[in-house]
Structure 1
């Protein structure tokens, strides 16, 4: 960490008020805050400093803002934030709090404040970050959920970003195990984004944890989401990229993870899939190729849970027909015309079987009328 601070227990509402006011002062971002704290100590010491002392560290505009008495609007915002923090299951950790996650203290730009809803102890647990495309395929979603569940059952906390697609699947999988799941969001902690994940967010708040560095009421601002990725990777021992296009926010998380000294894993895919390009790029750059949950768990020193023996099942004619069609399909996307030639099925029979397989979750329909099997 680049900043040296005295770590102490933190219970005084007046001091917490100073931290909140400090971080909501115009012009004081994470970098500026770290510079001020390194020079003066706690926020209260910053507010007590003279203008010339402040001016030696920060621009004049920010020095004047720090010395200005809180406006009525700021006072109201402070009261609302303190009221929020006083509610059960809510907490605000500061960089000087003894419970601040050690993993984040070791990154170059740790967040100054963490607004937390749920089980704050999960932020200090051994974690695996799972990230990927918002526009994920059915196979990608299944992989994210399955890998995350295995990690959670092995005792790892699954960290992701509450986005649609891979993130949501990772949280669902993580919540099924003892390790549970943490969502790092790019809005204020009182805002759910996207709204389609409202039920998932509620479950995370009750069974897992949601965390944000942004103040209450912060709307979804595009620049905040890449910024929060350093927290996702910073909390984790390693990052797993499930699906990612060549230009993807998930690659930002992976690069940040590598800079932070975290392991990076990637699941390979079809050479024809745009959502495999990012993973293949990472593998070329040194990320570890993983094909199973055990690959990750063994790397992180977590033994996989023993699998339950499969129950014998009766194989029907329909099962054989489905297996034959899946065999003809292979593992790469294929259009209906090619599949008809491979399988020898007419258009009507092929359409019927594809629909049945799609309803069973064994096949997904891709843009352009192509189909791909889902493991």
Structure 2
């Protein structure tokens, strides 16, 4: 057992970080001794002069007791990397945060998680693909991890919640701040059905450096990372970089060669990322054990003239060639192809053989190995 208040107090020094925390722990044995150490002892432990003096200054401004009280008053929990509730996969990365702050719950089932990330300005294709894939992942018991940002992140969190799933949001700031502000209600829903987490103490605001560092936690908590839609300048590239450094799988949804929002995903596929056309691609690659359960899909209701619902109503358990589907639907082949792709991403149809499609009547319930 660690006395968490000393960890919380020491974590107020921004320069300390995982490497210097390990030096303190190795030298002093416990963080109470580290908190009470002299300037000379800090230097003997391997700290540079600036960090050592920052610690001495901090002691004159606060106490471990008052810092812990401040955190509790804000409704925030915290764990150190020695605690059982600390995410198991996060302990495996090279630089896990010594202290993790969270609201909500951290569960053992969070080991079955996938990061879903992408651009803050997705196209309608990106939004649909994110919602469809995330919904099916949630149905399969996969925890969705993302960053609460605008765009793909928000769509992924909402789709998980709307489909009875669990989701974790990793923030680039203290948990007393919600950024962007329009996601305040979404953040509370995530707390109720999952967790929001951060390595930053309450009061710390986001900046340009904290987002790339945050992304190492998004990938670090997860079995793999799915990039749905992202241009070359997207912050999702940092999640990919960290995922590769952490030996985690990277998946990408292919996009149009004419779309700037698919340039990063298409390039990553060329460089070896796994292309994704349906959830099965992800589940099989991650070696998750699927136990199929029969689900009778309701017949589509076409009261609003939804073309996807109408097309789905033409399909059944017997494989049909795309040309036959086009003739039955009486719409252009390009429209049929596009809608079948979206229905496949949503887990409602599957391509079997060359250009033949069936309507799915099985949904996999996924459990860990």
TM-score (norm 1): 0.76
**Deviation (angstroms), 1:126:** 1.2
Report the Cα offset of residue 115 of structure 1: 0.8
1:170 Cα offset (Å): 0.7
1:79 paired residue number: 66
Question: 1:47 and 2:35 equivalent?
Answer: yes
**Structure 2: tracts of 5 or more residues without a match:** 311-328, 339-369
- Among 104, 113, 119, the alignment partner of 1:118 is 104
Work out whether residues 253 and 277 of structure 2, in 8 Å CA contact, stay in contact via their aligned partners in 1.
Answer: yes
CA change 1:254–1:61 in 2 (3 A) is closer
Q: 1:298-329, CA deviations, whole angstroms, 9 ceiling, x for partnerless residues?
A: 22325376554352667999969xx7776567
Aligned mates of 2:205, 2:305 — CA distance in 1: 54
CA contact (8 A) 1:114 1:212 kept: yes
Query: Residues 122 and 146 from structure 1, CA distance in 2 versus in 1: closer, same or farther, beyond 3 angstroms?
Result: farther
Query: Per-residue deviation at 1:83?
Result: 4.3
SS state at 1:143 partner: helix
Q: Provide the residue aligned with 1:199 in structure 2.
A: 185
Query: Distance between the aligned counterparts of 2:304 and 2:4, measured in 1?
Result: 66
Residue 170 of structure 2 corresponds to residue 189 of structure 1: no
Instruction: Please give the alpha-carbon distance, in whole angstroms, between the structure 1 residues aligned to 2:91 and 2:221.
Output: 10
Residue in 2 that maps onto 1:347: none
Per-residue deviation, 1:80: 5.7
Aligned to 1:202, the other structure's residue is in SS state helix
Q: Are 2:46 and 1:60 aligned? A: no
In the alignment, what sits opposite 1:148?
134
Matched, 1:163 2:176: no
Rounded to whole Å, the distance in 2 between the matches of 1:212 and 1:324 is 52
Give the Cα–Cα distance (whole angstroms) in 1 for the partners of residues 304 and 208 of structure 2: 51
Tell me the CA shift for residue 84 of structure 1.
3.5
- Rounded Cα–Cα distance in structure 2 between residues aligned with 1:29 and 1:155: 34
- The alpha-carbon distance between structure 1 residues 98 and 265, as it changes in their structure 2 partners (threshold 3 A), is same
Structure-1 residue corresponding to 2:15: 27
Greater displacement, 132-141 / 49-58: 49-58
Q: Which has the higher contact order (CA 8 A, sep 6+)?
A: 2
Q: Write the distance in 1 (CA, Å) between the matches of 2:177 and 2:70.
A: 16
Unaligned runs of 5+ in 1: 1-7, 333-375
Deviation at 1:135, TM superposition (A): 0.3
- Count of aligned residue pairs for this structure pair: 316
In 2, Cα distance between equivalents of 1:16 and 1:52: 24
2:59 alignment partner in structure 1? 70
Q: Is the 8 A contact 1:155 1:178 kept in 2?
A: no
The answer as to whether partners of 1:246 and 1:277 remain within 8 angstroms in 2 is: yes
Contact kept? 2:138, 2:165, Cα under 8 Å? yes
Separation in structure 2 between the aligned mates of residue 269 and residue 161 of structure 1, nearest angstrom: 22
Any idea what SS the aligned residue of 2:103 has? strand
DSSP-derived class of the 2:7 partner: helix
| Preserved CA contact (<8 Å) 1:174 1:180 | yes
Aligned counterparts of 1:179 and 1:91: Cα–Cα separation in 2: 22
Alignment of 1:205-354 (within 5 A): 205-300=191-286, 301-303=288-290, 306=294, 308-311=296-299, 327=333
CA contact (8 A) 2:9 2:67 kept: no
C-alpha separation in 1, matches of 2:4 and 2:207: 26
| 1:25 to 1:305, Cα distance in 2 relative to 1, 3 A | same
- Closer/same/farther in 2, CA of residues 150 and 302 from structure 1, 3 Å limit: farther
Tell me whether 234-243 or 37-46 shows the greater mean CA deviation: 37-46
Shift of 1:53: 3.1
- Secondary structure of 2:116's aligned partner: strand
Please report how far the alpha carbon of residue 145 of structure 1 lies from its aligned counterpart in structure 2 after TM superposition: 1.6
Secondary structure of 1:120 counterpart: coil
